[in-house]
Amino acid sequence: MIIQKDLNGKVLGEFKSKAEAARAIGIDESAIRKSIKFGRKVFKKFRYYVSNSIYEKESNVTNQNKSKAKILIIDIETAPIRAYTWGLWQQNIYLDQIISNWFMLTWSAKWLGNSIVMSDGLSGTEVLEEDDSRILKTLWKLMDEADVVVAHNGNSFDIPKINSRFLVNGLNPPSPYKQIDTKIIAKNQFGFSSNKLEALARLFGFEGKYDTDFNLWARCMKGDDDALDYMEYYNCQDVTVLEQIYLKLRPFSKGHPNLDLYTDDVEPSCPHCGSKHIELIKDKFFYTQAVKYETYRCECGAISRSKTGLKFDNKKRISSIPK
């Protein structure tokens, strides 16, 4: 259920879907999704609706970051490499064949548990000049603030691409942050038929990615401002979907950054989500070769263990010979 408010904060009513809520303030979201071309004025009004929390959605995403760590969900869209080629299959493209190299078109991000979606995108003039320096600076500020960065296929694509453009544009590395790649979690811990973001969204019953095709990228490369606006809008939806998928996969994540370290409280908290609501699992222990630990289950579903092992009499324990 979605609680829709107008620009003055007045509650207009409760609606079953985001599309119904959008129409309550005069926006036909379904019409926007069906057509790539629409006016900038309509888009800006819709972006205000999305990014400035005119609506409040009651879902499992709300207040899911219970730690003091700042967790940033990000996604980027890049321009394609344009090149001369004599074929369609397995072409070796040399540097002299490249017409224009890739650069960043848009980025979108949100802090975990916060309903505001942030984004930035190139103007038509910036695309024609292949100048992404302005939007790289705004993205750098967010990543410099983050303790943890979450991206789908981020380890192979988003983070290396972002770092490449930081370097080209003369920006220093952001301050240290931990990386979480939801595609790696999906691949390593499960056996899904596909680990793509859209496939996972459909599997879990989430609203998926918005419709697009290569024509959108082609129009963006020509400096079409309407197409660039839609690209930014499309990018924002990806981040919203990614947040939901991250929360779904998080309890199964191995090697997740220990969020308990980001608090100075004496009371222990869940290393996955930071919640204090953890319960001891009776008569169930985590064993290493030499030590056993108590185990705990958090309200988020994740399993953790005590930091110190249970004491035992060394005379009653033997260890196998290491291989």
Q: What is the mean pLDDT of residues 64-78?
A: 89
- Residue 310's domain spans which residues? 277-316
Question: Is 322 a domain residue?
Answer: no
121, 253: one domain: yes
Fill in the amino acid letter for 291: V
Question: How large is the average pLDDT for residues 262-290?
Answer: 87
Residue 16 has pLDDT above 90, yes or no: no
Are 112 and 257 in the same domain? yes
Q: Which tens digits make up the pLDDT trace of 89-110?
A: 999 999 999 999 999 999 999 9
Please list, in sequence order, all residues whose beta carbon lies within 8 angstroms of the beta carbon of residue 21, skipping any fewer than 6 positions away. 2, 4, 15, 55
Which pLDDT belongs to residue 296? Answer: 92
Whether residues 139 and 214 share a domain: the answer is yes
Render pLDDT for 122-176 as a digit per residue (tens, 0 to 9).
999 999 999 999 999 999 999 999 999 999 999 999 999 999 999 999 999 999 9
Q: Are 21 and 148 members of one domain? A: no
- 199 or 226, which is more confident? 199
CATH number of the domain bearing residue 164 = 3.30.420.10
Are 39 and 138 in the same domain? no
Write the DSSP assignment of 286-300 as a string of letters.
EE-SS-EEEEEEETT
pTM: 0.80
The answer to whether residue 8 scores a pLDDT higher than 60 is: no
**Residue 228 token pair:** 């660039």
Would you say 117 and 239 are in contact if contact means Cβ atoms under 8 Å apart?
yes
pLDDT of residue 103: 97
Predicted confidence band at 60 (pLDDT cuts at 50, 70, 90)? Answer: very low
> Are residues 80 and 229 both part of a single domain?
yes
Whether residue 65 sits in one domain with residue 8: no
- Spatial distance between the Cα atoms of 155 and 172, rounded to a whole number of angstroms: 19
Within this chain, do residues 168 and 251 fall inside the same structural domain, yes or no? yes
Cα distance between residue 229 and residue 124, in whole Å:
10
**Number of structural domains found in the chain:** 3
- Of 202, 207, 195, the closest CA to residue 234 belongs to 207
Same domain, 238 and 121: yes
My answer on whether 294 and 221 are in the same domain is no
Phi, psi of 302 (to 5 degrees): -75, 150
Whether residue 272 lies inside any domain: the answer is no
Compare 266 and 61 and report the one with higher pLDDT: 266
The answer to whether the beta carbons of residues 149 and 179 sit under 8 Å apart is yes
Verify that 65 and 130 share a domain, yes or no: yes
Q: 300 and 112 in contact (C-beta within 8 Å)?
A: no
Asked if residue 69 is part of any domain, the answer here is: yes
Same domain, 105 and 147: yes
- What pLDDT does 177 receive? 97
Q: Which two tokens mark 304?
A: 């953790």
